[in-house]
Amino acid sequence: MWRYIGRKLAVYLLTFVVAVTINWMIPRFMPGDPVRSMLSRASISDPEALERMNSYYNEVFGLDTPLWQQYLSFWAGLFRGDLGISIMLYPEPVIDIILRSVPYTLAVLLPAIILSWIVGNRFGAFAARSKILDNTILPVGYVLTATPYMWLALLFAWAMGVVLGWFPVSGGYSYSLRPAFSGEFVWDLVMHWFLPFLSMFVVALGGWAIGMRNMIIYELEADYSNYLQALGAPRKLIRRYAFRNAMLPQITGLAVQLGTIIAGALLTEIVFNYPGLGSLILDSLTNRDFFLLQGIFLFVVVGVLIANFIIDIVYVLVDPRTRVQMTGGAA
């Protein structure tokens, strides 16, 4: 078991190093000079002043050193929790800006992922029992999984925000309010949170329901189900076994889907102008703030890796077969 976790950790560590390296490379080899564009915004005409400011900024951002030194100092900074300084919101540190946005993203993402997985699985298992439910839920599920996140988000924003006026369609909270721990503010937060959450939840739901429905039908046809039926076991017991065994591929599915879901969440945030990492990515892109962009990507990568690692561990706990293989098994 520990050897397995150790091996997994090593793989994740390697993935992390590669991800960080690519992450560092992309903005640096992207066309465009961020310092130049910052200076052009200041519209300085004196060439001598321009030159001095250029070298000043290059020194501040560490762009005057050779590439390999930039790379090493990037890693060094990483371990100190220093991701550099934002260009867009100069001179605020990147880490502070990200930490301000992360709670919003997590608040949408975690409940959407976990609830849609649980509800979708229950729903799918339930649908597998009856022909009528199966024939109605399945097509709906297919439409839902095929729906792009931001398209559904737009639809919800239009229907429930603009037409019905039930929910606000933009921002994390009303601009008229100051952040405070009051009932009014919390309620406002929830109202702003609801639509981004709902569109994430609904799209993910369909996929899980379809997957579970198919898995349950497969498991109910499995040999052990037939055997138990021949021995007169009640349907309840057989369904319980089938549900549990059908869960296993769904857990794997969750790990595989995680990246897609997070990408969907970022797009959804942009649609609702929700102040999470998604909107931040868009802002930093338009402002060529590659320190910020880099920091956000790093957070997303680390988040996905951690989540995948957790799922790996959970899988080992729920499927005895992987556990047996790891301990070598006693034949």
Judged by the rule CB under 8 A, the positions of this chain that interact with another protein are 222-224, 226-234, 236-237, 241, 244-245, 248, 318-321, 324-325, 329-331
Q: What is the DSSP string of 302-318?
A: HHHHHHHHHHHHHHHHH
For residues 182 and 192, give the distance between their C-alpha atoms in angstroms, rounded to a whole number.
Answer: 16
Q: In the block, which residue shows the tokens 């919800």?
A: 156
Token pair listed for 310: 């957790």
DSSP 85: B
Our CB check for another protein shows the closer of 1 and 26 to be 1
Token pair listed for 71: 């790379």
Our CB check for another protein shows the closer of 163 and 231 to be 231
**Least CB distance from residue 223 to another protein, whole Å?**
4
For residues 321 and 324, give the distance between their C-alpha atoms in angstroms, rounded to a whole number.
Answer: 5
**Least CB distance from residue 233 to another protein, whole Å?**
5
**Least CB distance from residue 308 to another protein, whole Å?**
22
Our CB check for another protein shows the closer of 205 and 242 to be 242
Residue 271: closest CA among 200, 207, 178 = 200
Backbone angles phi, psi at 214, to 5 degrees: -65, -40
Amino acid at the residue 109: L
For residues 188 and 177, give the distance between their C-alpha atoms in angstroms, rounded to a whole number.
Answer: 9
Our CB check for another protein shows the closer of 64 and 319 to be 319
Our CB check for another protein shows the closer of 190 and 233 to be 233
**Least CB distance from residue 220 to another protein, whole Å?**
11
**Least CB distance from residue 243 to another protein, whole Å?**
11
Structural contact between residues 233 and 145, judged by C-beta atoms closer than 8 angstroms: no
Our CB check for another protein shows the closer of 47 and 320 to be 320
Helix (H, G, I), strand (E, B) or coil at 186: helix
**Least CB distance from residue 321 to another protein, whole Å?**
5
* Helix (H), strand (E) at residue 82: none
Structural contact between residues 199 and 156, judged by C-beta atoms closer than 8 angstroms: yes
Our CB check for another protein shows the closer of 180 and 231 to be 231
**Least CB distance from residue 132 to another protein, whole Å?**
18
